[in-house]
Structure 1
Amino acid sequence: MQVVAAQPLRVVLEISPPHQTLENGKVGGLTTAVVEQMLQQAGLSAAYEVYPWARAFRIAATTPDVLIYNMARTPEREAQFEWIGKVASYKFGFLKLSRRHDIKVHQLSDIGKYVIGAQRDDFSAEWLRDVAKQPQQKLALQPDVIETWRLLVNGKLDLMIDDPQAIEDMLTQHQLRRSDVEFVFFPPELEQHTWIALKKGSSPELIERLRRAYQQVQEGVALQKAMRRMAPKAV
């Protein structure tokens, strides 16, 4: 066990407010608070590395003993990772600028008419490609959610995928009000829990230590806050 705790655990993540934030060089956010508590219970410290999602995912998928968090547990990923515990709850839908009266989505088949932004290697991008069969020329994959929002606001995208409870920071950054954006469609398949995970083949001692520590924080306030689904503010 001493070998596991000898140095800080490598942790990779993307910035995705309010769950993962970066302020004055310090990683924070709702799910980060859960991870911090879990690591404290495990007697471990973290060496956080912030990347665009695609790079964080590739590192975690190919490197043992690297923790990644706030990741959707999809069938494609199931056998790749050891799943430590749930860390957040999302209900993703298609978002547009309210002024775009030309965009009308009533059912899934309608989205094929529009350019849709998503994050590269994100589960929503995989879903758009493999399940929704979004045409390649209408799928605009970005390195992170910050860039996806920038393109939406600048009129380079018609739609993007996000959660109504996770957009406040982006609205503030772009000086938008809630009434300036509109969610037009919520596919049931995009309602997800996200997880803390490590690559298959990671240290069994580390995995067991983290799972025991997660059980200690499972009923805590931080996890309940991260998992809570509240009614979104009125548009």
Structure 2
Amino acid sequence: MKRLIWQLPALALVAVLNVVNAADEYVADRLNLFTENYGSYNYSIDGREYEHDGENIGGSSTEFIKKLMDHAGIPYKMKLRSWRVSYERALTRPDYGVFSTGRTELREDLFEWVGPIARYNWIVMVKKDSPLQINSLEDIRGLKVGGYRNDAVTEYVQNAGIEVSDLPNESANPHLLQDGLIDVWVTSDVSAWSVAEATGYTEIEVGYVFKTVDMYLAMNKDTRPEWLDQLYASYDALVEAGELELPTYE
């Protein structure tokens, strides 16, 4: 009986994952768009980790993507998942896309890019009143650096030859930073404060801003060409109509 009781949580988790995976199965004749909870750009309206319908997903980037899809007249389904799942779906499945996705040299040839739809800064977060003086990425080499697996910021820093502890999600990094378990946290200005406030670890601050990057709707390379053409044309039309305004950083 004890063994059965211990097995129940694991079986429940498997059941949940099976439901999520089943809900993500490929459906022909529509685009399948995935996103994650990411600051004010895209999020679950009800604060959940998963959403199965676009009506429950909000944010500035999300609302623009909805306008884009309506203008293009392409049938679609929008869902919210973890970043790992969303990114993997778009990378490996035809007619799948993920937003809001930082367009970087490392990712350039992996997707077809529609946008930009947003813009953000890549930053190094430090503990409040930290004595660290950071004027370049070289200044964090050899430190204990926290990051986020499959995240563009983490990938960029790792590609510079800097070791990063890349967790499956960002939620632990503010705690690790504030408690001195890591020295710095590489992230973006879009997610840093929302993650810190959600976890209650806010005694941190920006130590260095090292890059400004545009974010896109990243579509699988095998997405139907006619749908991509419709997306590009609709994007240009909406921008010309003043439906999108990107922030300007000095």
Sort the TM-score into its range (normalised by shorter chain).
Answer: 0.7 to 0.9
What count of residue pairs does the alignment treat as equivalent?
Answer: 216
Q: CA RMSD in A?
A: 2.6
Q: Which residue of 1 aligns with 2:162?
A: 134
**Which whole-Å deviations, capped at 9, do the CAs of 1:167-226 have from their partners, x for residues lacking one?**
44334324466xx33211222xx21111112111210111111112212221455521xx
Q: Given the superposition, is the C-alpha separation of residues 64 and 160 from structure 1 closer, same or farther in structure 2, using an over 3 Å criterion?
A: same
CA contact (8 A) 1:14 1:144 kept: no
Residue 208 of structure 2 corresponds to residue 185 of structure 1: yes
Q: Which residue of 2 aligns with 1:16?
A: 38
TM-score, normalisation: structure 2? 0.75
CA contact (8 A) 1:34 1:217 kept: no
Alpha-carbon offset, residue 51 of structure 1: 2.7
Q: Which residue of 2 aligns with 1:169?
A: 194
Instruction: Return structure 1 stretches of 4+ with deviation > 3 angstroms.
Output: 5-8, 145-156, 162-168, 174-177, 219-222
Question: Following superposition of structure 1 onto structure 2, how do residues 1-235 of structure 1 map, counting pairs within 5 Å?
Answer: 8-24=30-46, 25=51, 26-99=56-129, 101-131=130-160, 133-135=161-163, 139-164=164-189, 166-175=191-200, 180-187=203-210, 190-219=211-240, 222-224=243-245, 227-229=246-248
**Structure ranking higher on relative contact order (CA contacts 8 Å, 6+ apart):** 1
Return 5+ residue gaps in structure 2 as ranges.
1-26
Q: Given the superposition, is the C-alpha separation of residues 211 and 129 from structure 1 closer, same or farther in structure 2, using an over 3 Å criterion?
A: same
TM-score, normalisation: structure 1? 0.79
Q: Given the superposition, is the C-alpha separation of residues 165 and 129 from structure 1 closer, same or farther in structure 2, using an over 3 Å criterion?
A: closer
- Partner Cα distance (1:44, 1:149) in 2: 40
Return 5+ residue gaps in structure 1 as ranges.
none
**Which whole-Å deviations, capped at 9, do the CAs of 1:50-104 have from their partners, x for residues lacking one?**
23323322221111100112212222222221112101111211011204x2433
**Which whole-Å deviations, capped at 9, do the CAs of 1:38-57 have from their partners, x for residues lacking one?**
01101235422323323322
**Which whole-Å deviations, capped at 9, do the CAs of 1:83-132 have from their partners, x for residues lacking one?**
12101111211011204x2433233222023222222122212211112x
Q: Given the superposition, is the C-alpha separation of residues 165 and 66 from structure 1 closer, same or farther in structure 2, using an over 3 Å criterion?
A: closer
